[in-house]
């Protein structure tokens, strides 16, 4: 099967399995912990604990972004050290964007919550119902996996989501690309962009980038707004 056909087959199988047998809360928690720990081993630029069929090392551009920022040392850091047995988890049910973050940010800055919420929803729901040359395809499962994987990298867990879907739908090279774009965007290269979902249209792959950026922004907001809420109470 081609990369595209294999992905569509996995999506179909996931839907059938969900209808036949639903995972228990314990199983879903275990799958999240496994995915969270593995995400720490994914290193941008293609150096990974997972075997990938190519290396990006020779194409990483050492972009000097120091002239654009006040603190050149500022950058992404994994939310936990590798090898730790108990990694911190942010349970989304305890502090969600819809029920908590949205109202707080509106209090802090009038109407900004509505603008942010509209942006999140628009990017998340954006679809042409296509996958490359295939039409009338429901891509909800795939979009949800991309969004939730970014939150998983930041230690955010949704109790009602089965993270086994992430492992089945997002291949290893794509996970490397996701971490690079999300955490180290200045290291992203054209070869990395070209290397995944080769049969997909550019518009579909650009949508992936939009999803990753919005997921990261929402994850950062959740941590910041939760901290503000705790300070206020």
Of 150, 135, 132, 101, nearest in space to 200 by CA = 132
Per-residue pLDDT, averaged over 150-177, amounts to: 93
The residue with greater pLDDT, 75 or 113, is 113
Angle between helices 172-183 and 140-153 (to 10 degrees): 60
d(CA 163, CA 32): 5
How far, in whole angstroms, is CA 141 from its chain's centroid?
13
Q: What is the pLDDT of residues 131-146, one digit of tens each?
A: 999 999 999 999 999 9
Q: Give the global pTM.
A: 0.86
pLDDT of 71 reads 75
* First and final C-alpha spacing in the chain: 55
Q: Other C-beta atoms within 10 Å of 37: how many?
A: 15
Percent of the chain beyond pLDDT 90?
60
Of 157, 150, 136, nearest in space to 211 by CA = 150
Q: What is the pLDDT of residues 45-57, one digit of tens each?
A: 544 433 343 343 4
Q: For tokens 């996931």, name the residue.
A: 14
pLDDT of 49 reads 38
Angle between helices 202-232 and 172-183 (to 10 degrees): 60
pLDDT of 19 reads 64
The answer to whether 57 and 45 are in contact (CB under 8 A) is yes
Per-residue pLDDT, averaged over 52-67, amounts to: 50
Lowest average pLDDT, out of 32-36, 75-79, 144-148, goes to: 75-79
Across the chain, mean pLDDT equals 85
Angle between helices 25-41 and 140-153 (to 10 degrees): 60
How far, in whole angstroms, is CA 150 from its chain's centroid?
2
- Measuring CA to CA, how many Å separate 211 from each of 13, 21, 25, 130, 172? 24, 29, 27, 16, 18
């Amino acid at each position: 099967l081609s990369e595209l056909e294999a992905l569509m087959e996995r999506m179909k199988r996931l839907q059938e399995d969900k209808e036949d047998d639903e995972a228990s809360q314990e199983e879903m928690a275990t799958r999240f912990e496994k995915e969270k720990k593995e995400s720490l081993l994914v290193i941008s630029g293609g150096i990974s604990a997972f075997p990938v069929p190519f290396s990006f090392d020779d194409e990483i551009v050492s972009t000097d972004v120091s002239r654009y920022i006040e603190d050149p040392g500022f950058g992404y850091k994994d939310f936990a050290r590798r090898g730790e047995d108990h990694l911190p988890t942010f349970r989304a049910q305890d502090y969600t964007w819809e029920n908590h973050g949205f109202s707080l940010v509106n209090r802090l800055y009038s109407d900004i919550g509505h603008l942010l919420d509209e942006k999140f929803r628009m990017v998340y729901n954006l679809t042409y119902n296509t996958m490359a040359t295939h039409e009338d395809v429901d891509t909800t499962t795939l979009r949800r996996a991309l969004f939730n994987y970014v939150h998983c990298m930041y230690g955010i867990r949704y109790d009602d989501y089965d993270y086994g879907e992430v492992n089945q739908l997002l291949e290893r090279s794509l996970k490397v690309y996701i971490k690079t774009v999300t955490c180290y965007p200045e290291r992203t290269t054209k070869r990395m962009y070209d290397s995944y979902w080769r049969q997909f249209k550019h518009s579909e792959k650009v949508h992936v980038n939009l999803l990753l950026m919005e997921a990261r922004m929402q994850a950062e907001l959740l941590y910041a707004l939760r901290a503000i809420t705790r300070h206020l109470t």
